[in-house]
Amino acid sequence: MTRTIRATPLTREAFAPFGDVIETEGAHHFPINGGRCERYHDLATVEATGPNARVLISIFKGTPYAFPLDLALVERHPLGSQAFMPLTPAPFLVVVCPDGPDGRPGTPHAFVTRAGQGVNYPAGRWHAVLTPIGAPQDFLVVDRGGDGSNLEEHHFEEPFLVTLPEGTRA
């Protein structure tokens, strides 16, 4: 039996149970630098706990996946948040899972970003790996470095099939 999940557009409201949407639309902002720059302030909560924890800023160069996508693996980072902000206006796929009753991931939810949107997963949130759509894509990533194990992976016994909304170019 195939378990299919259709991705939906990413919105703050739909994604709120899973983390933060990083975007300027509707965000608190104010002028700085003598009015020559607008600061969109506090767009996501950065978390870094555990021994020798520190915040890292990296660039990831992602390769696109074929769609429909066989989702067989999700991961989480128990000691820190992880934020992804694309450096191009191309969409990417975001897949997150609530915690199941046994500590394993529950049923996945899939979203497609629009230009100018990124996401921030709080510590411990199950999510799919970075999934560009249609072309290679670079991302600014803010996450946790330091000692301790900050990666847990879960392999689904039966993969989920993730499809894109009509009109999304893969």
Q: Is the residue at 41 inside a domain? A: yes
Has residue 151 been placed in a domain?
yes
From CA 156, how far away is CA 148, in angstroms rounded? 25
Q: pLDDT value at position 167?
A: 82
* Domain contains 127: yes
| 169 found inside a domain | no
Domain count, the chain: 1
Per-residue confidence (pLDDT) for residue 101, from 0 to 100: 86
Question: Quick one: pLDDT at residue 95?
Answer: 98
Which residue shows structure tokens 């879960």?
Answer: 154
Instruction: Give the domain extent around 22.
Output: 3-163
71 found inside a domain: yes
123 close to 49: Cβ distance less than 8 angstroms: yes
CA distance 167 to 169: 6
Place of tokens 């003598």: 34
Taking a C-beta distance cutoff of 8 angstroms, is the pair 164, 132 a contact?
no
Domain membership flag for residue 168: no
Asked if residue 47 belongs to a domain, the reply is: yes
Residues of the chain with pLDDT under 70: none
In a domain, 134, yes or no: yes
CATH (domain of 60):
2.60.120.480
Q: What is the pLDDT of residue 112?
A: 97
